[in-house]
Chain A
């Protein structure tokens, strides 16, 4: 590995890294006087220019994109292996049970959060509340507990916003899913600048 860490040096003893680091600044006294440094600066500046052009041209070049079939194949596979999370019991009757996917409830929760300014809802885990996991129950009475991670705008009043979000989540879950959100735990994992 030693060879890997060796940085090439110019004849005058300066490393090519030092010459590179300085190409955006005016030449130093040594660089003005040293033929090798002047040559190195000139060729590194030319490389820097060519690099910028390559970066720009490649990014703009419509032919340097994968064929659209690539994205189709990726999305087909993702749809075939879609993850809907846990299935939660929503309603139990003598004739059978109704379950609802964690993902369906999560969409309702995200939607409730998205309408609140300064809140971005991230990962969401939903569990059946422990005291309702077995035994028959009637519609509208199943309890779930929600664990939601959010990012909030840096200027936001965190406790006030989190409480408002909790109330919205509880009412939206009742309105759309017919379940009771017994516990809504909110974790603020990040702040973002507006």
Chain B
């Protein structure tokens, strides 16, 4: 309401009400998306800020390479800007963005496997696993070390999953997307998504029991 009063004062001085847009934080996402669709760059920048981290984490866990993950984020958000006016349902925005990013990750992995000799260096795995577990765990050093070891293990085990299973698992378990959305993203049935998830979990638990 403070905003309203401030405007009233300004209007009294100038007669015309100034052109001031609401803070984007005060709007719902669908409204911000609609404004970006109409070409508003501030609204688009707000969405880039809101999604770049999430999309990067998805792409990084899919591709295990910072540069490739950054390429996916950039390609996805540039395509988002270009195709935004065509998006009919603003509520579907995040699912649409995740779909574009996931498919770019899978394309990137297909390109990699066609030039076969890209092999994951153990050294790179080590560095990223360390980087990904340092913050967020406080307290008991022994428990910290144990958790850090589990995280390394889970992150490594993930990379051994077939790409489509990995995508299912990350979208569901880390990004909390719905089965229906994951199925649409991967162009498979929900039953297939459930099957892939179950096999991903079976494989991951199998790997985890090997570490003990």
Contact = CB atoms under 8 A, between A and B. Distances in A.
Interface of A: 1, 4-8, 15-17, 20, 40, 43-44, 46-47, 50-51, 53-67, 70-71, 73-75, 77-79, 81-85, 103, 106-108, 110-112, 114-115, 117, 120-124, 149, 151, 172, 175-176, 190, 192
B202 A103 contact: no
A108 to B, nearest CB: 5
Contacts of A107: 19, 21, 40
Nearest to A83: B39
Contact of A151 (B31, B73, B131): B31
DSSP majority for the A interface? helix
Contacts of B99: none
Nearest to B59: A66
A61 B133 CA distance: 8
B198 to A, nearest CB: 4
Nearest to B19: A111
A111 B20 contact: yes
Contact of A123 (B27, B34, B173): B34
Given A51-B173, A61-B132, A151-B31, A103 B40 contact: yes
Interface residues on B, range: 35 or more
A114 B20 CA distance: 8
Contacts of A60: 135-136
28 contacts: A8-B199, A20-B198, A46-B208, A50-B150, A54-B132, A55-B173, A57-B135, A57-B136, A57-B151, A61-B131, A61-B136, A65-B56, A66-B52, A66-B73, A66-B74, A67-B70, A71-B48, A74-B78, A75-B44, A77-B78, A82-B41, A83-B39, A110-B22, A114-B20, A115-B20, A120-B27, A122-B90, A175-B16
